[in-house]
Amino acid sequence: MKAFVVDASVAAKWFVEEEYSPTALSILGGAAQLHAPDFMLLEMDSIITKWTRRGAIGLDEGSDIRNALRQYPIQFHSFPSFLDSAFAIASQTGQSVYDSLYVALAALLKRKLATADRRLYDGLKNSPFQKSVVWIGDIV
């Protein structure tokens, strides 16, 4: 069975139709095991509040998205246990500690991070962590 660490850039595509949303939804609805740092819930709350401030969704829809996300088959991992690794990855690659939490979890679980964050994906090219990340558009 396939397994991925998913970041908020992928999770957001489960709720808003964007490029690569069908692929993101296929990961969610497929046979893959999904993992994420529990920090993703905070990151998604930030995204949802941006959507509501911009009028893209209403407050009730934002609450529905928050509730749905917590029901999805994602195994959340407590991020403090791999925060030191994330800090080291961020220091080595120039990525944010936030993004590096996903990379650190992928490395810890020996899984790939599925991302739709082009800046993160491109920033990990030519780094020791390039094999830990896969671009959402490359998942079949």
* Interval 90-107: pLDDT, tens: 999 999 999 999 999 999
Q: Which pLDDT belongs to residue 140? A: 72
Confidence of residue 30 (pLDDT cuts 50, 70, 90): confident
Q: Which pLDDT belongs to residue 124? A: 94
Q: Which pLDDT belongs to residue 98? A: 96
Q: State the chain's mean pLDDT as an integer.
A: 94
Tokens at 102, concatenated = 């996903």
Residue 139 in this model has a pLDDT that exceeds 90: no
pLDDT tens track for 38-88: 999 999 999 999 999 999 999 999 999 999 999 999 999 999 999 999 999
What stretch of H or E contains 5?
strand 3-6
Burial 82-103 (b: 16+ CB within 10 A, else e): bbebbeebbeebebebbbbbbb
End-to-end CA distance of the chain: 14
Q: Which pLDDT belongs to residue 22? A: 93
Confidence of residue 1 (pLDDT cuts 50, 70, 90): low
Distance CA 30, CA 92 (A): 34
Q: Right CATH number for 3-138 from 3.30.460.10, 3.40.50.300, 3.40.50.1010, 3.20.20.20?
A: 3.40.50.1010
- Give the per-residue SS3 of 36-90: EECHHHHHHHHHHHHHHHCCCCCHHHHHHHHHHHHHCCEEEECHHHHHHHHHHHH
Domain coordinates of the chain in residue numbers? 3-138
Percent of the chain topping pLDDT 90: 89
Taking the model in full, what pTM does it have? 0.92
